[in-house]
Each structure stands twice: as structure tokens, then as C-alpha cells.
Structure 1
Amino acid sequence: MVHPVSAPALRYPLSLRVLHWSRAVLILGLIACGWFMTGRAEDDAVAAWLYPNHKQFGLLVWLLAMVHLVVRWRERVRLPREAHELRPWERKLSMATQRLMIALTFLTPMFGYAMSSVFTQSDGVPFFVVSRLPEVLPKNDALFPLFQTLHRYSAYILLTCVALHVAGALKHRVLHAGGERDVLTRML
């Protein structure tokens, strides 16, 4: 299907705004959950309940990232134009941060999935109505620390990118309210 060329909208389409804010809430919740549950005792009942939920909501983030890319591609003619008033360094930092966030919303859940797959004591990965998804790698406890480290640090890097993303949006909102550089209004 060929989309007609039209003038870019001032805001992102509703579908992308809903996906953006849904993923933001899920990602921040998953990071907070990860910190909380890994700080609990191994036999803690709360942690035992949080781990499978952390896994399934992590996979949900991965699926929403896939949906986001498809919707963004389909809606490409309706996307707001780039803020031309941004300084070159702001544009480069914004682009790098956004691309890294997109990559990490794919990689972080996959590292967690791999971590769960290789760990011999893992109960597997549930996904809401599916009690247990197939494991992608053979059991190998020697690989567990590698995937655990990749999962942890990719989550930290993702959180750093989110903080930069929020700081940039707030900076432009406060300093340039209502102008082209007020990029926050595009996502509200």
C-alpha cells in the first residue's frame, strides 16, 4: 500500500503515543522490580512471585518494541517533522539516545530470556496464558553469569538513556515551551 505524501503532523499518531507511554511505564517498573527482587533472600515469597512476572512483562516489552517498529514504519508519513531548531549536538545526542533505547528494548529482555534458559534451576519463562515458553539455549550454568551481567548492564544503560531522554524533553519544554523545540508536546 502506497501512502500519499502529506504534511507532517505536530504530534505523533495516537498509536505511537500509547506504545511510547506503555513501554515507558513497563520499563521503569521492570527496572524497579529487578532491583527490588534481586535484593531479597533466595527463599523469599515476594521474590518468588516477582521473578516470573518480571520475566513475562520483560517479554511484553520486547513484543511492544516489535509492534512499535512496525507501527512507526506504517505511520512514517504522519510523524512530526524533526525540530530544525535543535543544535547539531542536540540532534546527534537525541538520535543516538533514541536508537540505543530501541536497541536495548530488544536486547535487555533477550539477555534475561537467555539467562533464564541456561540456568539449570530456572522454572522457565512464563508468558501470561502460556505456562512456559520454550527455552532458547541449552542448560549451562557456566553461561548464567555472562547473561546475568549483560542483562543487568543493558538495563542500567537503558535507564541512563531514559534519563537523558526525559532530561532533554524537559529541558526543551521548560526553555522552549510552545516552540518547535518543545518536543514533549509531540508525545502527549
Structure 2
Amino acid sequence: MNAPTTIIIERYSTSLRVLHWLRAVIVIGMLWAGWHMTGMSDDIPSKFELYYPWHKSFGILAFLLVLTQIAVRLRTPRLPRPLQTLAPYERVLSTLVQRAMYVLLVVVPLMGYSMSSTYTQSDGVFFFGVNLPEALPKNDNWFVVFQALHKFLAYTLLVLIVLHVAGALKHRFLDRDPSKDVLRRML
């Protein structure tokens, strides 16, 4: 008779878990709001009076949260390692998706800031009522470039988020092996 095996689930620190879920909610909301507001007619006042200012504010907040999360990760002496119970391709894919998400979580808001900063019709970059300095000169040609990058990279981030969530749900519900349940580490 086999002795029962003890499964040790290493969890991320409370600060990293809180930052992860807070950022996740904000980023999902940002993706929805960005998609929704760009589909609205320019004749609808709330598009420019409500959606764009709040999208900018929460975009900067998401940017600050990911920078905080990166700093906390770098200062945390011991992070959970990839689960050795996963197949090698799953560990590689997980690492690649997570790293790409971190890159995009920094780059997408920077493209949004650059887009807003360079647009000649922009009234500035607001962060919850505080007008932030615009570091780039007004130039509608650059605006078009930053706008395309912001949109393309945001959709790329969305695809990576779907992969990230699908992987976590697969390990939790389809594998039916508690030693592969990566979601427990973030709950």
C-alpha cells in the first residue's frame, strides 16, 4: 500500500497576491473600456468626458501597480518555483507567457501615455484629477504610430491573459491533480 503523499503548495506572498488580483481587475476593466470607448461615436459626450479620462487614470494606476509588483518580486528572497509536476512544455510556456505579460503590462501604458502626449487635440494626461506633464512633443504623425502600437499590444496582452487564465483553469479543473493546481499559489 502506498503511503499518502503530502502536497506542499507554495503560495506567493500576500502582497504579491493582492497586487496580482488588483492589477488583474484593473487591466481587464481597462481592456473592456478601451474596446468599448473606441467603438463609441464621437458625438457621445461621455466618450471624451468620462471614458478617456478614466481610461488614462486607470492605465497609469495599472502601470504603477505593475512597477510595484516587479519591485516586490525583485525584493522577495524566495518566490515559488515552477511546479515540477507540470510537463516541461507547460513550464516553458507558462514562463514565456508570464514574462511577455509583464513586458506588455509596462509597454502598453507607455504607448497610451505617448499616444495621449503626442496628440495635438489631447488635453493632457490626467491621473485622477492631476494633470501629468507630457514628455513628448505634439506630433500627430507620431500619435498614429503610438496609437497603432497601443492597440496592437493591448490585444496581444489580451491574448496572453486568456492563455494565462486558460492554463490556470486547465490545471485546476481538467488535470484533476492537486499537485498541478497552480491557481492555489495565487489564492
Q: TM-score, normalised by structure 1?
A: 0.91
Aligned to 1:11: 11
What's the counterpart of residue 26 of structure 1? 26
Once the two structures are TM-superposed, the CA of residue 179 in structure 1 deviates from its matched residue by: 2.3
Contact 2:171-2:177 within 8 A present in 1 as well: no
Matches within 5 A, 1:14-93: 14-48=14-48, 49-77=50-78, 79-93=79-93
Q: Deviations over 1:61-93 (max 9, x none)?
A: 11001100111122231x223200111111111
**Residues 136, 41 of structure 1: alpha-carbon distance in 2 compared, 3 angstrom cutoff:** same
SS in 2 for 1:81: coil
**One-letter identity of the residue aligned with 2:186:** M
Task: Give, in angstroms, the shift of residue 9 of structure 1.
Answer: 6.6
Residues of 1 paired with 2:45 and 2:128: CA distance?
20
Fraction of identical pairs, as percent: 52
Q: Within 2, Cα distance between the matches of 1:32 and 1:106?
A: 18
Q: Deviation string for 1:127-176 (max 9, x for gaps)? A: 1241x111121000111111000000110000000000000000000134
Structure 2 length-normalised TM:
0.91
Gaps of 5+ in 1: 1-7
Work out the CA distance in 1 between the residues paired with 2:84 and 2:98.
17
1:94 aligns with 2:94: yes
Note the aligned Cα RMSD (angstroms): 1.4
Corresponding residue of 2:152: 153
Q: C-alpha distance in 2, partners of 1:116/1:32? A: 19
Q: From the superposition, tell whether residues 177 and 20 of structure 1 become closer, same or farther in structure 2 (CA, over 3 Å).
A: farther
- Deviation of the 1:14 alpha carbon: 0.7
Whole-angstrom distance in 1 between the partners of 2:9 and 2:74: 15
Residue pair 1:9, 1:81 contacting (<8 A) in 2 also = no
Which whole-Å CA distance do the structure 1 matches of 2:108 and 2:179 have between them?
33
